[in-house]
A and B are shown apart, each in its own frame.
Chain A
Amino acid sequence: MASTQTLLSPAELAYLHSSLSLTPPIRPDGRSSTQFRPLVAETGILPGTNGSARICFADGTEAIVGVKAEVERTKSALTTTEDETVHRLEGEFVEGLAGAGGNSAGNIDEEDNDGLEGQNEWVELSVEIPGYRDDDSGTVFLSALLTEALLADGNLTKKLRINTRFHWKLYLDILLISPPLSYPLPLLSLTTHLALLSTRLPRLKSEGDEDPFFDDDWAAAPYLYPRENGTSGKATLRPPISLLVMAVGNNIIFDPAKEELAVADVALAVSIGDGKDNNSNAMDTDTRNLRLLSVRTIDPPSRLTPPGVPNATNTAYGAAAGTTAQKQPEARAAESEAVEGVWKPPRGGAKPLVMAALVQKVLEKGGVTDEVLDALDAVELE
């Protein structure tokens, strides 16, 4: 999807590239390099879901995310289930083996009893983008990216555990309503963030390992991401967000539009979590404790743009048309030389330092991430 061809001519690309490389960069829509597109957000729009959110970007792209949860029996090769004798046999066999192995059985028991760990299969995320099949590589990449960020710290799956025999299965359906005008990652990620924040699961009334039953009162349902003072107030632990950031020349640009991405040297998707450290329970509530969860290179569509032809080699502008034998080495030479003002798609990769700088910029204290999280805090939750 990132590789969707943009219909810009080499001349336009060259112009865009040079204006974005200026200090400070001049972006086509007049934003500063760290500024996001304005957006309208609302949560709790669908009463039939456990949590939902909708975000509209000013350029007209819109996404809706619905979260639905279902109770599921926890499957495990190691715990015996009453009705499946085959499983039991296997289970006993393996357990016996593990017991012989000594240490590992201890580990497994510990895990079951503590009830701390969740399994990654408990979260299912699907992305629907109009005009693309759901097994299109771009769609798969996006959903893998979003899933990866959600599961990275294991905090989400931990919350889904009911008891040793049952767990919640969380389905996240991400719909892009409008056609993808720009790379939809920031939009989808922010919408998912808000939808998860507004997600509530019915209050559990049963205790221990008995079959779960729940409180009918929806008003009493606790939030999946608990809030500071009961139902109002900020969430203490937040779902991750993924930001798109790109580099052009010496500039780092956040939330690029489609045209800007078309001239990117390198583009990264950086996922950041916000919440308390797994190890230290004492947490200062005022300062955010940002965590880096995932970084992925996005294949910039700039590599697929048509190159410009400098006048020196353009036969239409009086350059001598050589014979084929001569033409070949000349063409090779022309390939490697950069001519001022002529668009040339980037080749090769990015210096490790540039990549590090991009990530650094995202993680900066009091930087863009804080700004985005502050803005999301301001969204009135249902």
Chain B
Amino acid sequence: MADRRRINGPAGATLPPVYLNEDAQPSDDSKISRTRAANAIRKLYLKTGVTPSASGSAYLEIEAPGGGAVSGLKLSCTVHGPRSLPRSTPFSPHIILSTHVKYAPFATKQRHGYLRDPMERDLGTHLEAALRGAIIADRWPKSGVDVIISIIEGDQDRQTSKSQELGSWETMNALAGCITVASAALADAGIDCVDTIAGGVAALVKDAGDNNSPRIVIDPIPLEHEKILSACCVAYLPTRDEVTNLWFKGDLPASDMELYTQLVETGIQAAKSANLVLVECLHETMG
């Protein structure tokens, strides 16, 4: 549906000029290679209480690797509630959770309109499933809480003009970030949860070069690898050792159950690493 309420940008996509870097060696491979260890996530910055008008809020930033070839991820999350529901809403014994994930129009190379597109709605559904398991919902009957996440800068490679649309692998990274930042904001809003909840991504990747066999890495960046074979994003409750949301995607032989389990395990590892930052951040706020 067309957005008629705002002045929109031109309908046809315009390609931003990509200038050749003077310093870049012509022979240099345009792909950057992964310098982190296979089990290391990128550096995270997390801060709560950034939006004073909201009941709870948090800001998350993931460092941009590879000297600016890939933009980092910047997320801001606000939590409004618990608040009473409008009169017309029927009785609910639980808190009604609604989640919105929205890319800012300028977040990626491809402009996002103001209306949420199906991909953003899909992310919202994933986030809802992840958070609903963590919130102790029956402590607030007849009330609602809104979790609103704006992705200020999306994880996207800046150099290649090949992938115009947001690749599906980037959305997994974005979802993991959304889960972590939402958990911090929920804690900031003082909404009771069974545990902190952290998101992590693991992927089975194939690196450039002939002799490399596929390996599992955490926090993958598509540009760093030749090809991503499959990936999974988990929402994990660390102290309870439970998964509230699991999203796996790719192409794995069904006979190789071991590989799948390993991938999920690695995803949990990634979530645990993110949780360290989350807990540290919450401690800081308390103290």
B-contacting residues of A (Cβ < 8 Å)? Answer: 77-78, 90, 94, 97-98, 100-104, 108, 121, 135, 137-138, 140-141, 143-144, 148, 152-153, 268, 272-273, 277-278, 289-299, 303-304, 306-307, 335, 345, 347-352, 355-356, 359-360, 363, 365, 369
Q: List 18 A-B contacts (CB under 8 A).
A: A77-B161, A100-B20, A101-B30, A102-B26, A103-B29, A103-B30, A140-B121, A289-B253, A294-B250, A296-B246, A297-B245, A297-B247, A303-B132, A347-B133, A348-B242, A350-B244, A363-B254, A365-B255
Selected from A103, A148, A359, the residue in CB contact (under 8 A) with B249 is: A148
Q: Are A348 and B133 in contact (CB under 8 A)?
A: yes
A138-B26 CB under 8 A given contacts A306-B93, A307-B93, A349-B240: no
List residues of chain A with CB within 8 A of the CB of B165: 121
A-contacting residues of B (Cβ < 8 Å)? Answer: 1, 15, 18, 20, 24, 26-31, 93-94, 116, 118-119, 121-122, 124-126, 128-129, 132-134, 136-139, 160-162, 164-165, 168, 194-195, 232, 235-237, 240-255, 257, 260-261, 264-265, 268
Q: Are B20 and A97 in contact (CB under 8 A)?
A: yes
Q: Are B242 and A152 in contact (CB under 8 A)?
A: no
Q: How far is the CA of A321 from the CA of B162 in the complex (A)?
A: 68
Q: Are B138 and A137 in contact (CB under 8 A)?
A: no
Q: How far is the CA of A291 from the CA of B26 in the complex (A)?
A: 41
List residues of chain A with CB within 8 A of the CB of B240: 348-349
**CB nearest neighbor in B for A141:** B125
Q: Are A299 and B265 in contact (CB under 8 A)?
A: no
Task: With A138-B125, A292-B248, A348-B134 given, name 19 new contacts (CB 8 A).
Answer: A78-B161, A101-B28, A101-B30, A137-B128, A141-B122, A278-B251, A290-B254, A292-B251, A292-B260, A296-B246, A297-B245, A303-B94, A307-B138, A345-B138, A348-B194, A348-B237, A349-B133, A350-B243, A352-B241
Separation in Å of the A287 CB from the closest CB of chain B? 10
Q: Are A140 and B260 in contact (CB under 8 A)?
A: no
Q: Are B243 and A351 in contact (CB under 8 A)?
A: yes
List residues of chain B with CB within 8 A of the CB of A137: 121, 124-125, 128
List residues of chain B with CB within 8 A of the CB of A148: 168, 249
Most chain B CB inside 10 Å of its own CB: which residue of A101, A121, A293, A306: A101
Q: Are B244 and A297 in contact (CB under 8 A)?
A: yes
Most chain B CB inside 10 Å of its own CB: which residue of A108, A272, A294: A294
Q: Are B18 and A94 in contact (CB under 8 A)?
A: yes
List residues of chain B with CB within 8 A of the CB of A291: 251-254
Q: Are A272 and B254 in contact (CB under 8 A)?
A: yes
Q: How far is the CA of A335 from the CA of B26 in the complex (A)?
A: 65
Q: Are B30 and A102 in contact (CB under 8 A)?
A: yes
List residues of chain B with CB within 8 A of the CB of A108: 162
Q: Are A296 and B247 in contact (CB under 8 A)?
A: yes
Selected from A140, A349, A369, the residue in CB contact (under 8 A) with B125 is: A140
List residues of chain A with CB within 8 A of the CB of B132: 299, 303
Question: Nearest 7 A-B pairs (CB), nearest first?
Answer: A349-B244, A290-B254, A349-B242, A295-B248, A299-B129, A363-B254, A144-B122
Separation in Å of the B239 CB from the closest CB of chain A? 10
Q: Are A102 and B249 in contact (CB under 8 A)?
A: no
Separation in Å of the A373 CB from the closest CB of chain B? 12
Q: Are B251 and A140 in contact (CB under 8 A)?
A: no
Q: How far is the CA of A135 from the CA of B124 in the complex (A)?
A: 12
Q: How far is the CA of A138 from the CA of B265 in the complex (A)?
A: 28
A360-B265 CB under 8 A given contacts A97-B18, A140-B125, A304-B94: no
A100-B247 CB under 8 A given contacts A108-B162, A348-B133, A352-B264: no
List residues of chain A with CB within 8 A of the CB of B18: 94, 97
Separation in Å of the A120 CB from the closest CB of chain B? 8
**CB nearest neighbor in A for B251:** A153
List residues of chain A with CB within 8 A of the CB of B242: 348-352
List residues of chain A with CB within 8 A of the CB of B244: 297, 348-350
Separation in Å of the A309 CB from the closest CB of chain B? 11
Q: How far is the CA of A182 from the CA of B156 in the complex (A)?
A: 39
**CB nearest neighbor in B for A362:** B254
Q: Are A297 and B161 in contact (CB under 8 A)?
A: no
